[in-house]
Structure 1
Amino acid sequence: MAARLPAANSCLLASSSSSVNSQRRAAVRISAVAAPSIATGIATVVTAPKIAVQHTAPVSTAVSRATPALASVWREIQGCHDWESLVEPALNPLLREEIVRYGEFVVACYKAFDLEPSSKRYLNCKYGKKRMLREVGMPDAGYDVTKYIYATPDIAIPTQSGASCSRWIGYVAVSSDEESRRLGRRDILVSFRGTVTNTEWIANFMSSLTEARLDPHDPRPDVKVESGFLSLYTSDDSSSKFSSGSCRQQLLAEVSRLINQYKDEELSITLAGHSLGSSLALLCGYDLAELGLNRNGRNQRVPVTVYSFGGPRVGNPGFKERCEELGVKVLRVVNVNDPVTKLPGVIFNEGFRDLAERYELPWSCSCYAHVGVELSVDFFKMQNPVCVHDLDAYLGLLKCPKMVQVVKKDGVDFLTKTMELFDAWKWQDAAMQVGNLMQSLNI
């Protein structure tokens, strides 16, 4: 029997009857009191069309007097049913807590990243693996960092040290025995920071699709991803004193090692990232599933879940469909006013595809498409425009469960969608401005 989950406020989730092609939307108003850089705010929850999955029945929405322990419902919280009834009509409190928890692991990447050019650890992590989480204010996180991950932008822009080089992009960690008991499984976590350096911003805006070809035995030419993200994921800097191999090689080796180490336990693989980091998280999740590396000692598939914060589109519809076929679950947390989430593909995206299919217009697989279920927040009247892409602002709103009121919208007006489609041209310039602001502020 499926475990039972509560909804916000009344510990009750209303059932959802949306089909695979449903376009229903739900809105959640959230006060921005917890976000210091925002005067007021609104958060909107938008669920993407549901994907057909081969699992047991969805989580029951019957009344429960108490919130169930995470250990008993972790598969649902990790998206085994594409978060059906957990996002709408109200954001489930357990899911909220998990989103914030994984978001804080990403914040740790920013706090630990050394951006001081005179430092010996410039572009590296400030701390050793054993004390990193403690130094950034997470001594009770319940995870042990096992490996640091480095990425190399394949762009010839020298750093202040005189040459382009790899830089610390995130880390791999695994839940402790005590935390694993609370979670109901041993969790392998991969966390990525977002864009900070100039070369990484350029990687964000390359905006050209290329074949992923991550599986040498089945290249799948219909699966295409953004070239800048793929380059950052696969490029190698042989001169780096910190890393050995590309970001991809480091990740696949370490995650495989941990799966083998804990092969007889219940496992999950969780990837979390902000901005550019969310792109790397999705590429890694797809890569692990495509190569079949997410298998435990009993040859059972280990669930792969991506928590994306303020992430751009990563690939084409072929990439999206393949992720769904492989069972890679993606929960996208985005601010509707964040220009980075509109890129790449400001025009040729899933919205253009819907328009083309409705009016039988030609369209190409060169379009971009978001992957997964979307949880949208909408903050406005900002004291600082940079906060539209700020991870702390995202998490600040999500930490306000008592301020939630449900406002539901069924359907989307066609004219409105069309106007939004053509209005999207402005986002390219806006995103570059946000990038310049973030760079100047060392965000």
Structure 2
Amino acid sequence: MAIHLTNPPPGLYATKTPSQQQQQHRPAGSHAAAAAAATVAMPQTASAASSSVAVKKNMRQAAPVVVARRRTTAVESGGVALASVWREVQGERDWEGMVEGTAEEELHPLLRGEIVRYGELVAATYKAFDLDAASKRYLNCKYGKARMLDEVGMAGAGYEVTRYIYAAPDLAAGPPCPSRWIGYVAVATDEAVRRLGRRDIVVSFRGTVTGSEWVANMMSSLAPARFDPADPRPDVKVESGFLSVYTSDDATCRFTCGSCRNQLLSEVTRLIAKHKHEDVSVTLAGHSMGSSLALLLGYDLAELGLNRDARGRAVPITVFSFAGPRVGNTAFKDRCDELGVKVLRVVNVNDPITKLPGIFLNENSRVLGGKLELPWSSSCYTHVGVELALDFFKARDPACVHDLEAYLGLLKCPKVTKVMKEGEDLFSKAKKIVLEQSFDTWRWQMAAIQVGGLVQALGM
């Protein structure tokens, strides 16, 4: 069922005096003074033309998407500091109050800004990815850690990249697959901490590029995750291809050693320990297959209890998933909910990737008549978290419906990308949307290599 959220958390919409703002949601430690002053500048939008947005939570039964239009409020002009409400923006209350429960539901501007910001950190993985077959860094990152964000135009992002992550799927057929650059780990700088209200640890993952990754994506059988040796939980199952990319090791990799999982767990826990006396958050963001890896990492950290600070408090884990597929079964979803892993799934309702795997066996086919649980329910794929559905066009161009820059263009410029379903040629409008955006060359390179990888994987 669709969720209309009507009760915003304190401080998000109400007008307050300066003294009240200082008392509410004040971060602990040295960030308290900065929290009252720091504010986030939001992109200006128009009230007459806007994006279509819907928010829903994943329930046991099928949930229709409710589409709503964007409105502008006074909050967008300032007055609420991100540092004072960062826990709500990170999903502490499952984003309740981030959306008004009126006939025209509204995505809160602070949340909108954070979604775009993390999406751009994911887009950096594509822009830095080397697609030149003649390069010695082919299918790896073109730049060193110290200058990667600068080189892709994000010098002011406020993060320091601390480690690159590499991964390779273990495919039963064919020769071993070499490890490729899959993303990076970064930590907020001191200046960014004053604005964000905490020390944010970010892990960003790119989506599918190579042929072996396409093959892994098609390994849709469920396999037990078994991340905690002391409590393996064989009922918690995830897609075997994503699990392979996450856990497989390539001993020949010249850039690093250990599996993607080992690299991530060691680096994230190192950063949590380094900043254990501060307010810390772990934010995992990815596009397509990368969102699956982000969710696996979030579950892994929480299941092993590695998200703890010096006082034994749980460090919040938030996943921002862009165009992400389903990852695991119902037991996996339930366990993520139980562990407090917060997931916000940003999807285009016309994107077919977000409906995979589990075209037939999914959360909508578990229960008959709303009461009788069917025998195959444990084998049904189920989405995790809260869905933010963007309904911006119906088009046959897969480079558009699944493209990360198209997602971000909609969120940043709802006035430009709104599509009203009133009989217009939606394909023409989709083309117009793409042409009006300032897409870099890398977008078309990525589209070409993804199509080529799919063709190779299918043996065409």
Do the two structures share a fold, i.e. TM-score over 0.5? yes
Distance 1:165 1:404, change over 3 A: closer
Tell me the residue number matched to 2:69: none
Give % identity: 65
Are 2:51 and 2:411, in contact at CA under 8 Å, matched by a contact in 1? no
Aligned residue-pair number: 372
- Give the alignment partner of residue 6 of structure 1, picking from 9, 13, 21: 13
Tell me the residue number matched to 2:146: 130
Tell me the residue number matched to 2:97: 85
Scaled by the length of structure 2, the TM-score of the pair is: 0.75
Task: State the 1:198 CA deviation.
Answer: 1.0
SS of corresponding position for 2:391: strand
Are 1:77 and 1:94, in contact at CA under 8 Å, matched by a contact in 2? yes
Tell me whether 355-364 or 143-152 shows the greater mean CA deviation: 355-364
Task: State the 1:401 CA deviation.
Answer: 5.1
Q: Give the partner amino acid of 2:216.
A: A
Measure, in 1, the Cα distance between the counterparts of 2:11 and 2:154.
30
1:367 maps onto 2:380 in alignment: yes
Tell me the residue number matched to 2:312: 299
Matches within 5 A, 1:43-442: 43-49=52-58, 66-88=78-100, 89-155=105-171, 164-355=177-368, 357-358=370-371, 361-380=374-393, 382=395, 384-400=397-413, 439-440=450-451
Measure, in 2, the Cα distance between the counterparts of 1:323 and 1:402.
36
Structure 1 gaps of 5+ residues are 8-32, 35-39, 52-61, 408-434
Are 2:58 and 2:383, in contact at CA under 8 Å, matched by a contact in 1? no
Are 2:91 and 2:342, in contact at CA under 8 Å, matched by a contact in 1? yes
Output the aligned Cα RMSD: 2.9
Distance 1:92 1:441, change over 3 A: farther
SS of corresponding position for 1:131: helix
Measure, in 2, the Cα distance between the counterparts of 1:360 and 1:286.
26
Task: State the 1:41 CA deviation.
Answer: 9.4
For each residue in 1:297-335, what CA deviation from the matched residue of structure 2 results, as whole angstroms up to 9, or x when unmatched?
Answer: 111100000000000000000000000000000000001
Stretches (4+) displaced over 6 A = 62-65
Matches within 5 A, 1:8-27: none
Q: Which has the higher contact order (CA 8 A, sep 6+)?
A: 1
Are 2:187 and 2:201, in contact at CA under 8 Å, matched by a contact in 1? yes
Tell me the residue number matched to 1:427: none
Distance 1:438 1:182, change over 3 A: same
Q: Give the partner amino acid of 1:138.
A: M
Measure, in 2, the Cα distance between the counterparts of 1:115 and 1:334.
26
Q: Give the partner amino acid of 1:318.
A: A
SS of corresponding position for 2:164: strand
Q: Give the partner amino acid of 2:296.
A: L
Structure 2 gaps of 5+ residues are 1-7, 15-44, 61-72, 421-445, 455-460
Are 1:41 and 1:381, in contact at CA under 8 Å, matched by a contact in 2? no
Task: State the 1:153 CA deviation.
Answer: 1.4
Measure, in 2, the Cα distance between the counterparts of 1:291 and 1:128.
31
Are 1:72 and 1:184, in contact at CA under 8 Å, matched by a contact in 2? yes
Tell me whether 346-355 or 216-225 shows the greater mean CA deviation: 346-355
Task: State the 1:124 CA deviation.
Answer: 1.3
SS of corresponding position for 1:324: helix
Measure, in 2, the Cα distance between the counterparts of 1:222 and 1:251.
24
Distance 1:402 1:153, change over 3 A: same
Scaled by the length of structure 1, the TM-score of the pair is: 0.78
Measure, in 2, the Cα distance between the counterparts of 1:6 and 1:109.
35
Q: Give the partner amino acid of 2:377.
A: S
Task: State the 1:156 CA deviation.
Answer: 6.4
Task: State the 1:92 CA deviation.
Answer: 0.2
SS of corresponding position for 2:328: coil
For each residue in 1:227-251, what CA deviation from the matched residue of structure 2 results, as whole angstroms up to 9, or x when unmatched?
Answer: 0000100000001101210000000
Are 2:167 and 2:259, in contact at CA under 8 Å, matched by a contact in 1? yes
Q: Give the partner amino acid of 1:4.
A: G
Measure, in 1, the Cα distance between the counterparts of 2:449 and 2:131.
13
For each residue in 1:163-200, what CA deviation from the matched residue of structure 2 results, as whole angstroms up to 9, or x when unmatched?
Answer: 62000000000000010110000000000000111111
Measure, in 2, the Cα distance between the counterparts of 1:152 and 1:360.
37
Q: Give the partner amino acid of 1:80.
A: E
Q: Give the partner amino acid of 2:308.
A: R
Measure, in 2, the Cα distance between the counterparts of 1:195 and 1:217.
33
Are 2:214 and 2:453, in contact at CA under 8 Å, matched by a contact in 1? no
Distance 1:139 1:347, change over 3 A: same
Measure, in 2, the Cα distance between the counterparts of 1:437 and 1:323.
35
For each residue in 1:333-366, what CA deviation from the matched residue of structure 2 results, as whole angstroms up to 9, or x when unmatched?
Answer: 0011111101000111011124464456443301
Task: State the 1:74 CA deviation.
Answer: 0.1
Q: Give the partner amino acid of 1:67.
A: G
Are 1:42 and 1:380, in contact at CA under 8 Å, matched by a contact in 2? no
Tell me whether 275-284 or 395-404 shows the greater mean CA deviation: 395-404
Are 1:317 and 1:367, in contact at CA under 8 Å, matched by a contact in 2? yes
Task: State the 1:386 CA deviation.
Answer: 1.6
Distance 1:344 1:360, change over 3 A: closer
Measure, in 1, the Cα distance between the counterparts of 2:447 and 2:152.
26
Are 1:100 and 1:395, in contact at CA under 8 Å, matched by a contact in 2? yes
